[in-house]
Structure 1
Amino acid sequence: MKTVSDAINFIHGRPKGSRKESMDRMYALLKVLGDPQDQLPSAIHVTGTNGKGSVATMTSNILRVAGYKTGLFVSPYIIDFCERIQINNEMIPEAHLVAMTKKVAEALKKVDIQLAPDIPTEFEVLTAVMLTYFAQQKLDALVIEVGIGGQLDSTNVMPNAQVAVITSIGLDHQSLLGNTIEEIAWQKAGIIHNNMSVVVGNLPENARRVIAKRAQVALIKGQLNVFEQGLPGKYQIQNTATAVAAVKAFDSNIKTSDIQQGLRDSHFEARFELIKPDVMIDGAHNAQGLKELYQALNTPAYQTMTMTLIIGSLSDKNVVLAFDEILKNKRFQIILVPFVGPNGRHSLDIETVSQKYDVKVAHNWREAYQQGNTDMTIFTGSLYFVSEVRGEICHN
């Protein structure tokens, strides 16, 4: 393993995630690595169906401005794999990614034999790389985004987690987390441990009850519109309030000026991002996210414009549940395009969906882009899809 490509290919070459029954694999790997999670500073741990990446980004920026040397872990990436592991907005250097991955790879030689055939997965290995790196960097604070769920997520190993954040609860990853809002809420509330503050976004009441029962402390909710929002889009108003509440729970002495500056400094690709004057990308990868995107496009700045939503979605994301509401508005049209996700994950069956809804289909997003004859084109759906679109359009 000599290059960053070698390291990334090694991580991607691990088994893919599936339904988990325990954290045994993760703890076995960390033990061989010397338990780096025990050498970390206090952390803000962020989960949620939507909004967790945005909240994590704003939270880490506020802490950075306030003087904390802050590690940030997010997923997936949009442009560069190294985006996933950052310190004060600086991506992990490629040499460090290679070195940390080599260290984890050496540990896996022992762990794989010990646990075979149930060996650590891709995301568990990446999490171990991140924890090993951060443990060496003398950090003051961490902001860690959950991969999926919370209870059995590989990030749920930090003894110094101080604040648990649950941004939103909706139906997503049902095969892994459960088929009801209550079941999913219970899984996400698994990041709550003793002596933690718990910050929540705008949650359904049934989810809130489940989380409050697990938390056994008063839930903290941010106040809307107190600060200028950190990222564009109406849906970021709530995320901004949640991020501010999280940093105040972490350190009640953070100055108002530092909070506002940290919010101003925040930037997150593929979230309500204009990449050309008439082209936007937004990773609204499930029905809840797509409804929030639609509502953001119904604000005064956009209400006179016609819109084409070009959607490349995975089959398990339920985006069609938002179509009826969107298609009632004659300013909007939807074009579906096929998209094969990472690890061969299946695209939405666009031909079947087009027979049920008044939507168009195209062979690919480039063809759909040419078909668009509206004031604004919005590419949305899977973050992997919008990342591909962004990379090509921004480099032409």
Structure 2
Amino acid sequence: MALHPKGYDLSLDRIGRLLERLGNPQDRMPPVIHVAGTNGKGSVTAFCRAILEAGGLTAHVHTSPHLVNWHERFRLGAEGGGKFAEDGVLADAIRRVAEANRGEQITVFEILTAVMFVLFSEHPADVAIVEVGLGGRFDATNVISRPAVSVIMPISLDHQAYLGDRVELIAAEKAGIIKQGAPVVIGEQPEDAARDVLIATAERLRCPYTVYGQDFMAFGEHGRMTYQDEDCLLDLPSPRLAGRHQYANAAAAIRALKAAGFSLSDEAIAKGVESVEWPGRLQRLTSGHIHDLAADDSEIWIDGGHNPGAGKVVAEAMANREEADSRPLFVIAGMLNTKEPRGYFEPFVGIARHVFTVPLHMSDAGLDPVALATDAAEAGLSAEAVDDVESAMRKIAATWSEWDNPPRILIGGSLYLVGEVLKLNGTPPQ
């Protein structure tokens, strides 16, 4: 970070030159599941990994950003379940990539993407699941020439300065990971304009494609999940990940694995859906320092969603929790200054009793809490700025009494905030 402090600079020239010096490790990877989208990328990645491992296969996994430790970006496939790259292995790969770069201008994400390709090409696995960092067309991961499948998850407004200010423009950028003739899975799309762009791109490149809601789907019924496509109907456990949107994410993962040519038993799919883990996305804290600051029997949830699309699904998940009417919802939020706070907060109107806004101590680009509280108030919420998450937790606990129903507390608005909370809580991702 000290050597390459530059933020986003979307281009494939620097990463292409660096990878060539490294012997083009991206061409020596196991079959790649390439995942893009505004929301749901991480969840579909987690579902794919869980189902593959339940079926006895090994999977490398690349995700970004990390929440607490840099190692989280590089999970190496192994029998019995993948593990984060160890210190020595990761340090050696970073050293070799840095030497190959020869001190030339490059971004941190490009260096780390090259590290991912080196690690994934040198360690055996049955599959590599690669999550796009930003956009798609010019993302550093988009040097993969022939993915086993390209997956495009829900698209909404985010990173407008880099990707465009209309959903169809953003969809065109995400569609950049679609490659000639390679299978495409289009996840649930809240915007018809985005779906139309993705379909048109797949057809132009003569790719076999399937679309959520048209060729495959999933829904919950009687505490179970039903998955359906053109050739099967599966009765599955409800996804372990919270929120109704996870049915669609699980369905996209199942469809992606089938499109990539993996033959997995119904039992493996069921086990994966039921055992999946994805830290920081509607994750419930049940122990730890932050948990212990709450009033007895409180529900505490953390979620890194940070755009209007994420705000909608997270608010819906909070409203649909059991005892939602009897448990008042409090939101503790911190956000980057590149986001759209009002769009994130608006779905919580009528659901959240009060919002506490906090600074992001793990980023220099955090939005001032006072300004963020103003955004929440303009969205129609009761809001105030406080010094940190611990202060907000203590304020909620101090105003509680044994005669009140214990609160539901959501801490979110940024993956940086979620990472800070997991670190403070003593429960980093494993």
Fold shared, TM-score > 0.5 on shorter chain? yes
Mapped partners of 1:84, 1:171: distance in 2: 24
Mapped partners of 1:351, 1:333: distance in 2: 10
Are 1:91 and 2:91 an aligned pair? no
**CA pair 302-125 structure 1, distance change in 2 beyond 3 A:** farther
Check whether the contact 1:46–1:167 (CA below 8 A) recurs between aligned residues: yes
Question: Which secondary structure state, in structure 1, belongs to the residue aligned with residue 284 of structure 2?
Answer: strand
Question: After superposition, what is the alpha-carbon deviation per residue over 1:296-353, rounded to whole angstroms, capped at 9, x for unaligned?
Answer: 1111514231110100111222132143332223x532221222553x2131522542
1:85 shift after superposition = 0.6
Q: 1:257 aligns with which of 264, 267, 279?
A: 267
Question: Which secondary structure state, in structure 2, belongs to the residue aligned with residue 219 of structure 1?
Answer: strand
* Alignment-mate amino acid for residue 18 of structure 2: L
Check whether the contact 1:58–1:240 (CA below 8 A) recurs between aligned residues: yes
Question: After superposition, what is the alpha-carbon deviation per residue over 1:91-129, rounded to whole angstroms, capped at 9, x for unaligned?
Answer: 1111110110111011011x61xxxxxx22100000000
Q: 1:139 aligns with which of 109, 118, 125?
A: 125
* 2:62 matched residue in structure 1: 73
Moved over 4 A (4+): none
Q: 2:413 aligns with which of 378, 381, 389?
A: 381
Q: 1:100 aligns with which of 90, 93, 101?
A: 93
Mapped partners of 2:109, 2:342: distance in 1: 28
Q: 2:199 aligns with which of 199, 203, 212?
A: 212
Mapped partners of 2:2, 2:248: distance in 1: 34
* Alignment-mate amino acid for residue 346 of structure 1: G
Mapped partners of 2:273, 2:35: distance in 1: 17
Are 1:248 and 2:258 an aligned pair? yes
Question: Percent same amino acid at aligned positions?
Answer: 31
- TM-score by length of structure 1 reads 0.89
1:86 shift after superposition = 0.7
Mapped partners of 2:85, 2:344: distance in 1: 37
* 1:116 matched residue in structure 2: none
Mapped partners of 2:131, 2:99: distance in 1: 26
* 2:365 matched residue in structure 1: 345
Mapped partners of 1:96, 1:323: distance in 2: 42
Mapped partners of 1:140, 1:62: distance in 2: 13
Mapped partners of 2:72, 2:376: distance in 1: 36
Unpaired runs of at least 5, structure 2: 219-224, 227-235, 287-297, 401-405
* 1:13 matched residue in structure 2: 3
* 2:289 matched residue in structure 1: none
* 2:337 matched residue in structure 1: 315
Mapped partners of 2:38, 2:320: distance in 1: 23
* 1:158 matched residue in structure 2: 144
**CA pair 131-302 structure 1, distance change in 2 beyond 3 A:** farther
Count residues with an aligned counterpart: 375
Check whether the contact 1:335–1:359 (CA below 8 A) recurs between aligned residues: yes
**CA pair 290-213 structure 1, distance change in 2 beyond 3 A:** same
Mapped partners of 1:393, 1:196: distance in 2: 43
1:79 shift after superposition = 3.2
Residues 358-369 of structure 1 correspond to what in structure 2 (within 5 A)? 358-369=382-393
**CA pair 96-292 structure 1, distance change in 2 beyond 3 A:** same
Is the helix fraction higher in 1 or 2?
1
Residues 44-55 of structure 1 correspond to what in structure 2 (within 5 A)? 44-55=33-44
CA RMSD of superposed structures (Å):
1.9
Unpaired runs of at least 5, structure 1: 1-10, 113-118
* 1:270 matched residue in structure 2: 280
* 1:223 matched residue in structure 2: 217
